[in-house]
Amino acid sequence: VNGPYVSNEGDVWIERGDAPWPRIQRAARMILDEMGYDEPGYPMRYEGIEQGVRVSDNNEADGVHAEETGCDCCRTVVAHHFRAEDPL
Ligand SMILES: [Zn+2]
């Protein structure tokens, strides 16, 4: 799968592609666990397909540049958006 791309707030985006749906969900869950959302009470919510997601192949949360910068490290993609649900 392409991605996952993450935010600091528990968001995960995985680029829409050829990967089977269970594999996409597994990849999203795995990266959330790695980010520390593996405690019980952090269920993963699927937010749906999102258009125009700006991502960086550097996979750094703060490594995403605006489209206007015209850099080589970022792209705009269509992606599945997952989110670790805040138990509070
Ligand atoms: Zn960039």
Distance 7 CA to ligand 1 centre (A): 15
Q: How far is the CA of 58 from the centre of ligand 1 (A)?
A: 8
How far, in Å, from the CA of 61 to the mean position of ligand 1? 12
Which amino acid type is present at position 38? Answer: D
Give 10-64 pLDDT, tens digit per residue: 999 999 988 999 999 999 999 999 988 887 778 899 999 999 999 887 756 567 8
Dist. CA 21 → ligand 1 center (Å):
28
CA of 79 to the centre of ligand 1 (A): 17
* Type of residue numbered 25: Q
Compute the average pLDDT of residues 66-83: 91
Condensed to tens digits (0 to 9), the pLDDT of residues 19-30 reads 999 999 999 999
pLDDT of residue 62: 64
| DSSP codes of every residue in 46-79 | EEEEEEEEEEETT--TT-PPPGGG--SSEEEEEE
DSSP 76-87: EEEEEEEEEPP-
Q: Give me ligand 1 centre to Cα 28, in Å.
A: 22
Count of C-beta atoms within a 10 Å radius of residue 4:
24
Composition of the chain by helix, strand, coil, percent to 5: 20, 35, 45
